[in-house]
Amino acid sequence: MLSPQQIRDFERFAHLLDEKLNLIPLDFMLGFFVTSVINRWLKFFDNIGYIDNIALMTAAYVRGNDERSRKMRRNIVRYCVLSQALVFRDISMKVRKRFPTLDSVVAAGFMMSHEKAKLDEIHYRYDKHWMPFQWALAICDDARQHQKIASDWLQQKVCEEIKRFRTNMANLYNFDWVPLPIMYAQIVVLGVHLYFFVCAISRQHILSDEAPNKSKVNN
């Protein structure tokens, strides 16, 4: 039990904390953190990359009904999907479990055995996700030289779409490489805990008649 003096001291302390509670910028911290998380998620979603545009443009601009033309169209799309699968293996645990090795990627039909051998021959200290994009662009150049693509402008349109898809994959990789600073989450957690700790004291019901911050209790 508290003495009358201790009760008055607690009431004054609770009143002081209640007056200073607004000094904790909880709205700003939560708003900034939530906005950062949502914006990051939206950008991540926007950059997932859908192969439809490349497939449609390849089907429209790479002409020919012969076997070589069909292989060109198929390989351009397949190489882009292959790069996407290689990137997803590094940023998604579910995709990594589905394709734990490059052999599993070959078994799924995204890559041929000789293409895997080409990747293995490249001794590069960084990731080699972008090589299939180079192969796709090389096919576009070959298709133009053999008049499978009618003009340089159409070739440029297909190449730009491939480069845009590649940029999306690079953005996804960068998002995974550089996460939100852990300091943001730590500051928000600290701020929320501090706010509710102060509230646990400042929002106590004050029943003394002499207290300036006496709580209003409905009868």
The better pLDDT of the pair 11, 139 is held by: 139
* 218 has a pLDDT exceeding 60: no
At residue 27 the predicted structure's pLDDT band, cuts being 50, 70 and 90, is: confident
How many domains does the chain contain in total? 1
The better pLDDT of the pair 14, 209 is held by: 14
In a domain, 168, yes or no: yes
Q: How far is CA 126 from CA 80, 123, 129, 170, in A?
A: 19, 9, 9, 13
The better pLDDT of the pair 219, 5 is held by: 5
CA angle 211, 214, 216 (to 5 degrees): 165
Segments forming the whole domain that contains residue 141:
50-177
Region 191-214 average pLDDT: 76
In a domain, 11, yes or no: no
What are the phi and psi torsion angles at 18 (to 5°)? -65, -35
Region 163-186 average pLDDT: 91
At residue 143 the predicted structure's pLDDT band, cuts being 50, 70 and 90, is: very high
In a domain, 38, yes or no: no
pTM: 0.78
Helix (H) or strand (E) holding 1: none
In a domain, 150, yes or no: yes
C-alpha 5/C-alpha 66 separation (Å) is 98
In a domain, 14, yes or no: no
In a domain, 170, yes or no: yes
Q: Residue 61 in contact with residue 157, Cβ under 8 Å? A: yes
